[in-house]
Chains A and B, each alone.
Chain A
Amino acid sequence: MIEVKDLTKSYGNFVAVKGITFRAASGQILGFLGPNGAGKTTTMRIITGFMPASSGTVVIDGLDIFANSLEARRLIGYLPESPPLYTDMRVDAYLRFVAKLRGVRRAEVEDATDHVIQVCGLAEMARRICGQLSKGYRQRVGLAQALIHNPPVLVLDEPTIGLDPRQIHEIRDLIRGLTAQRTIVLSTHILPEVSQICDRVVIINDGQIALEAQLSELPAGVSLEEVFLAAITKEDHLTEQDAEETLEKVGAGHSST
């Protein structure tokens, strides 16, 4: 479970994230949407402990990411915006390194590495040098390193960006298969992706939450795109009533046309 509480982050005078609160429950995939520059990556970087918040906090399975940083970080698998590969290492050596770094026990490093190589379809690439991989395979290695310690919480920043349609399909299937007992937050701006694999959606715009809802709660017959556009063009955001209003309005608009 991830609980984000009243999170604010400012860079100098620029406030990137303005007091957002949401929670992602265990066994759920939460889609984190928003236009470019809305604060998605910043939020994910704070959730994973890469950077501190200006105020507010994040709790991962009961552990505060700031107060109990080491313990909380142990629970997280993280795929950053660009896969964090050492371009001069071989794929298998890289994954073994990450396994040790993430605290996988020595005796289990080999098994964990073999497992993610299988799961992410990297068997043929295992001896290749990371820097020579295509974009799609880099993304898979990035996903493999996020999964290697079998973390209960997964944070994926645009996992399908730059992939071809077939690869997107494979990665989506892979992510959907990971759900059991895991909390997954993934950011994207491919809306159909959210409809296909997520249980819950949080839309942020300009550093604030514009909409938070279960996908099943969305009015029937309304596309996520319409919900998204309505949410991010709305002037005032935040309260739950607002979210409901947005949904109603979209629903109404749709049925009247």
Chain B
Amino acid sequence: MRNTLTIAGKELQGYFVQPVAYVVLTVFLLLGGWFFFSMLRQFDEMVQLVQMMGQQGQLEQMNLNTRVIDPLLHDFLIVLIIVMPALTMRVFAEEKRTGTYELLLTAPIRTGEIVAGKFIAASAFTLVMVALAWIFPLILMIFGNPEVGVMFAGYLGLALVAITFVAIGLFTSSLTQNQIVAAISSFGILIMLLVISWAADSGGGTVWAVLKYLSLPEHFSTMVRGVINTADIVFFLSAIMVALFLTQRAVESARWR
């Protein structure tokens, strides 16, 4: 435990002295701001239009959660797919290239502790990033009355997605000493998780059901709608565990190859 915290502390400090983390954070929030602004404008125009037509019934159905937060969170999902590989690509790859990997692997610590420490640090940074994106719901809460519970469920979903991406990024980074290779492979896996269910509607049977289950947006969208299912939480947690397990095996493999 102590070793894990030692590694996590050092890694976390690393995020704050390196430009990559700041760039990731800035891009994430700037794009988020732009999406939020666009969605809010559209919403505003629509409200005015409906008001002009005097359809009171329809006006009451218009809702900040489904018209602004829902699409915003889905846009964030896409932004995460692009920026998270950049955040995690260096975690192992850089150590391998610069030779500090030798320091880590010859120290009297377990590979599991190395992986856990790095995962905790990257997750902590990512959670800060997702937490800062609460600025948009806060703005809505000041000027409107969205449903807080639904937003909370959606952001919980976003946090789980982001941490899943961290775990997958750590795995690809543990396989190579080339950061670009790590980033592109992790990018490929994330995109695959996004589109894996595209073919699922065209067929039936177990295989398609499995593909549908693996589809990340399927689970994410449920949470964005405000529904917290154990099944969806379990999906994300298992994805994280599988990726971390594979990472630990990849690091450990240096000891038996």
Contacts of A74 in B (CB 8 A): 108
A80 / chain B contacts, CB cutoff of 8 Å: 99, 102-103
B250 to chain A, nearest CB (A): 15
CB of A187, distance to nearest CB on chain B (Å)? 14
Which residues of chain B have C-beta atoms less than 8 A from A98's C-beta? 103, 107
Inter-chain contact B103/A145, CB cutoff 8 Å: yes
A85 to B101, CA, bound (A): 10
List 6 contacting pairs A-B, 8 Å CB cutoff, sorted by A.
A48-B106, A52-B255, A52-B256, A73-B106, A86-B100, A87-B98
Candidates A84, A101, A103; contact of B99 at CB < 8 Å: A84
B18, B102, B257, most chain A CB atoms within 10 A = B102
Whether a CB of chain A sits under 8 angstroms from the CB of B6 is yes
Residues of A contacting B101 in the complex (Cβ-Cβ under 8 angstroms):
84
Tell me whether B109 is interfacial, beta carbon within 8 Å. Answer: yes
* A-chain residues with CB within 8 Å of residue B104 when the two chains form the complex: 101
B254 at the interface (CB under 8 A from A): yes
CB distance from A90 to the nearest CB of B (A): 10
- What A residues does B2 contact at CB under 8 A? 100
Q: 0/1 per residue, B1-22, Cβ < 8 Å to A?
A: 0110011001001100110000
Chain A residues numbered 77-112 whose CB sits less than 8 Å from any CB in chain B? 78, 80-89, 93, 97-98, 100-103
Kindly state the separation between the CA atoms of A87 and B102 in the bound complex, as whole angstroms.
15
B254: chain A residues at CB < 8 Å are: 50-51
Q: Does any Cβ of B come within 8 Å of A191's Cβ?
A: no
A67 beta carbon closer than 8 Å to chain B: no
Q: What is the CB-to-nearest-CB distance from B111 to chain A, in angstroms, rounded to a whole number? A: 11
* Cross-interface CB contact of A88 among B17, B107, B255, B256, cutoff 8 Å: B17
Contact with A along B240-257 (1 / 0, CB 8 A): 000000000000001111
Q: Which of B106, B110, B256 contacts A50 (CB 8 A)?
A: B106
CB distance from B101 to the nearest CB of A (A): 8
Asked if A102 meets B107 with Cβ closer than 8 Å, knowing A86-B14, A97-B10, the reply is: yes
Tell me the minimal C-beta distance from B50 to chain A in angstroms: 54
| Given contacts A49-B105, A50-B105, A70-B110, A82 and B99 within 8 Å (CB-CB) | yes
A75 CB to closest chain B CB (Å) equals 9
- Known interface pairs A84-B102, A85-B100, A86-B14; A51-B257 also in contact (CB < 8 Å): yes
1/0 contact string of B76-109 vs chain A (CB within 8 Å): 0000000000000000000000111111111111
Q: What separation, in Å, do the CA atoms of A100 and B10 have in the docked complex?
A: 11
Measured between beta carbons, the chain B residues less than 8 angstroms from A86 are 10, 14, 98, 100
Contact status B6-A84, CB under 8 Å: no
CA distance A103 to B6 in the complex (A): 10
Q: CA A70 – CA B100 in complex, angstroms?
A: 18
Write the nearest CB–CB distance from B156 to chain A, whole angstroms. Answer: 33
**A66 to B, closest residue via Cβ:** B255
A102 x B98 contact (CB < 8 A): no
Extra contacts, 6 of them, besides A48-B102, A78-B106, A97-B10 (Cβ < 8 A), are A50-B102, A80-B99, A89-B10, A101-B104, A102-B107, A102-B108
Instruction: Sort A-B residue pairs by CB-CB distance and give the 4 closest, nearest first.
Output: A84-B103, A74-B108, A84-B100, A100-B6
**What residue of chain A has the Cβ atom nearest to residue B17's Cβ?**
A88
* Inter-chain contacts of A81 with B (CB < 8 A): 99
Does the CB pair B108–A70 fall under 8 Å? yes
In the complex the two chains form, is A76's CB within 8 Å of B106's CB?
yes
Give the contacting residue for A97; candidates B6, B99, B106, B110; CB below 8 A.
Answer: B6
A85 to B99, CA, bound (A): 8
Residue A23 at the chain B interface, CB threshold 8 Å: no
Determine the distance from Cα of A70 to Cα of B110 in the docked complex, in whole angstroms.
Answer: 8
A45 in contact (CB, < 8 A): yes
Cα A198 to Cα B100 in complex, Å, equals 28
CA distance A45 to B257 in the complex (A): 13
What residues of chain A lie closer than 8 Å to B6, measured between beta carbons? 97, 100-101
Task: List residues of chain A with CB within 8 A of the CB of B109.
Answer: 70, 101
Q: Considering the chains assembled together, what is the distance between the CA atoms of A47 and B92 in angstroms?
A: 23
Residues of chain B with a CB closer than 8 A to A100's CB: 2-3, 6
Q: State how many angstroms separate the Cβ of A82 from the closest Cβ of chain B.
A: 5
Tell which of A48, A50, A82, A98 has the most Cβ of chain B within 10 Å.
A50
**A76 contacts across to B, CB distance below 8 A:** 106
Query: Which residue of chain A has the shortest Cβ distance to B9 in the bound complex?
Result: A97
Instruction: Decide: A88 and B18 in contact? CB cutoff 8 A.
Output: yes
